[in-house]
Structure 1
C-alpha cells in the first residue's frame, strides 16, 4: 500500500468515524472527507434532515456518491464514510484497493451517541432498536470490506488512530 491509497473509516453512526479520520488526516498530512460535512456543505441539510425531507434512498444515494468521488481524489484522502455506502455494490467494489478501517461498536454504545446528536437520522425508530437493526444488517458487509477492525469504546479514538498509524508504518504505507 502506498500514500496514494485512500484510507476509509467505516462504522455505524456514532462509532467515532469523524474523530478518527481527523486524527489520521492530521497525522498523515492528507485531506479529509466526511460524509456528514459534505451533506451539509453541498445540500445545506444534515443527514437527518435529508432522510426526513427527501427519504432514506436519496440520503443513501448522496452518501454513496460522496464516497465514490472521494475515492477518486488525489492526493488520496482519509474518508469518514457513511455506513449506508456498504449497501451499494459499486461502493463495496471501489473500496477494494483502499485501506478500510472498521470501527465496530455495541448497539448500546451507538444508541447513546445517536441520542446525543440531532444530525443523525433515526428513521422513525428508537436509538437502541435502530442501532441493533443496523448492526445486524451491516455486520457482514463491514466484515467483507474491512482490512482492520477496532472495538469502540474499548479502544479510544486516539488508540485506534495510533493503531492505524502503526499498521501503516509497519507496511511502509504511511503517506
Structure 2
C-alpha cells in the first residue's frame, strides 16, 4: 500500500468513521477528509440541517461530491465517507482503487450514537428503526466495496486503527 492510495472509512452514522479516520491520518501523516466537516465548511450546515431543509437527495449528492473530491486529492487522504455514497453505483466504482475499511455495527449500538448527536439526520424516524433500516439496505453495498471489515463496538476505534495499520504494513512487504 503506497501513500498515493486513499483510505476510505465507511459505515453507518455513529460507527466511528471520523475517529478512526483521524487516528489513521495522524499515524500515517495524511490529511483527513470528513464528510460532516465538509458539509459544515462548504454549506454552513450539518447533514441533519441539509436533509431537513433541502431533502435527502441534495444531502446525498453533496456527500457523493465530497467523496469524489477527496479521492482525487494528492497526497491521498484518509476519508471518512458518508454511508449514502454507497447507494450510488458510480461512487462504489470510484472506490475500487482505494483501501476501503468498513466499520460494521449493530443497529442498537448505532441508535445510541444517533440519539447522542444532533448533527446526524433522522429522516423522521426513531433512531433504532432508522439504524435497522439503513443497515439492512446498505450492508450488501458495504460488503461489495470493503477490503477490511471490523465489528464495532467489539473492537475499539484504537484497535481498528491498529489493525488497519498492521494490514498496511503487511501489504507493503
Residue 90 (structure 1) shift: 1.0
Q: What's 1:149 paired with?
A: 149
Matches of 1:55 and 1:21, distance apart in 2: 27
Alignment size in residue pairs: 173
Matches of 1:119 and 1:3, distance apart in 2: 31
Query: What runs of 5+ residues in structure 2 fail to find an aligned partner?
Result: none
Q: What's 2:92 paired with?
A: 92
Q: What's 2:27 paired with?
A: 27
Q: What's 2:121 paired with?
A: 121
Q: What's 1:103 paired with?
A: 103
Deviations 1:66-110 (A, max 9, x none): 001100000000000000000111110000010000000000000
Pairwise mapping of residues 71-82 of structure 1 onto structure 2 (< 5 A)? 71-82=71-82
TM-score (ref. length: structure 1): 0.98
Deviations 1:16-56 (A, max 9, x none): 00000000000000000000000000000000000000000
Matches of 1:106 and 1:93, distance apart in 2: 26
Residue 2 (structure 1) shift: 1.4
Residue 3 (structure 1) shift: 1.1
Matches of 1:142 and 1:93, distance apart in 2: 12
Matches of 1:102 and 1:31, distance apart in 2: 19
Query: What runs of 5+ residues in structure 1 fail to find an aligned partner?
Result: none
Q: What's 2:41 paired with?
A: 41
